[in-house]
């Protein structure tokens, strides 16, 4: 990010308002309020969330990616992963 960039951590639209252009309206209102900004969405969003929405609003996927991983620590685990 730069000094002129703005980070979008979330856009929340009530379920009953989805697919009715509200998300786009929110983005475009922000664009008008802060026209000198470069808009950035951090790579913490799962790959399958709102991909079409962001593409339709001219966002481009960055090369950096986030991996979602799980480590279960229960009695079926072979051993604690950091145990020597």
- pLDDT attached to residue 25: 93
How many residues make up the chain in this entry? 84
CA distances from 51 to 44, 45, 55, 75, 81 (A): 13, 10, 6, 38, 34
53 vs 20: CA distance, rounded Å: 12
Band the pLDDT of 77: cuts 50, 70, 90: low
In the 3-class helix/strand/coil scheme, how is 29-70 assigned residue by residue? HHHHHCCCCEEECCCCCCCCCCHHHHHHCCCCCCCCCCCCCC
Band the pLDDT of 22: cuts 50, 70, 90: very high
44 vs 64: CA distance, rounded Å: 10
Domain residues for 62? 1-84
**How many domains does the chain fold into?**
1
Band the pLDDT of 84: cuts 50, 70, 90: low
């Amino acid at each position: 990010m730069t000094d002129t960039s703005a980070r979008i951590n979330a856009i929340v639209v009530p379920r009953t308002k989805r697919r009715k252009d509200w998300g786009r309206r929110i983005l475009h209102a922000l664009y008008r309020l802060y026209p000198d900004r470069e808009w950035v969405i951090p790579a913490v969003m799962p790959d399958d969330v709102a991909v079409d929405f962001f593409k339709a609003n001219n966002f481009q996927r960055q090369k950096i990616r986030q991996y979602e991983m799980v480590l279960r620590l229960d009695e079926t685990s072979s051993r604690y992963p950091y145990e020597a």
